[in-house]
Amino acid sequence: DAGVTQSPTHLIKTRGQQVTLRCSPKSGHDTVSWYQQALGQGPQFIFQYYEEEERQRGNFPDRFSGHQFPNYSSELNVNALLLGDSALYLCASSGIATDTQYFGPGTRLTVL
C-alpha cells in the first residue's frame, strides 16, 4: 500500500520565479492538505482540497494556489517567489470520513 508521495524532493529557485509541487495521496484517500514548515516551526496550514475544490484555506496570500485532479492527486503552485517562501512543503492526505492525516516526506524549497 503506497503512502503519500511528493515530488520533487528538493528544489532551488530564485526570487520572482514560479514553482509547482506535486503530491499523490495514500491509496483510498480523497482529501489533500498542504502545509508550509519553516525551520524550527510547526507546520502551517495552507489549504485543503476535496472533490477537486479548495475546501478551506489558511492565512496565505493568493500567490499560493492549488489544484486537485480527478485521481485525487494535487499540485501546489507558488508565484512570484520570495526569500521567505523557503521552507519544507508538506502534503497530507486523509479520507473524508476521518481526519487522521498521513504525511508525505515533503519538498524542500530554497529561494535564492
Question: Strand, helix or coil at 40?
Answer: coil
- For another protein, the binding residues in 51-110 under the rule CB under 8 A are 55-56, 58, 88, 90, 92, 99-106, 108
Cα–Cα distance between 51 and 69 in angstroms, integer? 8
Size of the site for another protein (CB under 8 A): 24
Q: Which is nearer to another protein, 60 or 102 (CB)?
A: 102
Is residue 89 within 8 Å of 9, Cβ to Cβ? no
Site membership for another protein, residue 17 (CB under 8 A):
no
Q: Which is nearer to another protein, 60 or 103 (CB)?
A: 103
Q: Which is nearer to another protein, 80 or 87 (CB)?
A: 87
Q: Which is nearer to another protein, 71 or 97 (CB)?
A: 97
Reported as type and span, the H/E element at residue 24 is strand 19-24
Cα 51–Cα 76–Cα 87 angle in degrees, nearest 5: 140
| Nearest residue to 50 (alpha-carbon basis) of 68, 26, 75 | 68
By the criterion CB under 8 A, which residues form the site for another protein?
4, 35, 40-45, 48, 55-56, 58, 88, 90, 92, 99-106, 108
